[in-house]
Amino acid sequence: MSRLSNLYLIIYNSVSTVLWVSILTRSIKDIYEVLIVKDPTNYYLNHQLIHDEFPHKFLVYTQLFNSILELIHSLLGLVRSTIPTLIVQAAARSLITLGICYTIPTSPGNYNFIFFNTILWAWSLSDIIRYTFFVFKLIDNGKLCPRFLLWLRYSAFLILYPLGLISESATVYLSLSSVKNSPYYHYYFLIFGLSSYIPGFYFLYGHMLKQRKKVLGRSKSH
């Protein structure tokens, strides 16, 4: 990899880390206001369609930014990520961000405090760990990467992926009532997406389990 490509990827992964830290910080603030301050008013006002045409706009744009660029990175050979893995993950997240947040802004799934915050935590923690790991891996050929970060990269998914599966499925289910009077294809599109979560999860989870065995097994041998 050329120095220019390496520098670009360091900047990209660093920016992505900051974006997801911002999303997680916002979720922590929401949880604090609802559970600690006992004032859910700000949470619901912050996410109502007062100033924006759809909720969770920052999340939608961040995920779109990552999905498009990572597909381009793979096509250009800048990263080793496989196209099928990228497509499955992007499709699962896009069902929430574009299929619900953007397309069905009034869906109750967008405003469910428990399930949507669980999505934010599952996605944010996964990506903060992933992008931070990539930054360290790109610097000095990964020699500076902390061992605990390597372990997190290939272990955190064991909990975060199932959390994402449950919360994303619940959000889609809660959105079905909002499209019953819409064109029939939208309702069945969500049904198809909901039914695809299990095979998609099986594919991504199995892929990460193989990677975990390969990387952590090799790490132990050293």
Catalytic residues: 161, 168
- C-alpha span between 8 and 13 (Å, rounded): 9
Q: Which amino acid is at 69?
A: L
Q: How far is CA 196 from CA 95, 184, 199, in A?
A: 11, 18, 6
DSSP string, 135-174: HHHHGGGGTT--HHHHHHHTTTHHHHHHHHHHHHHHHHHH
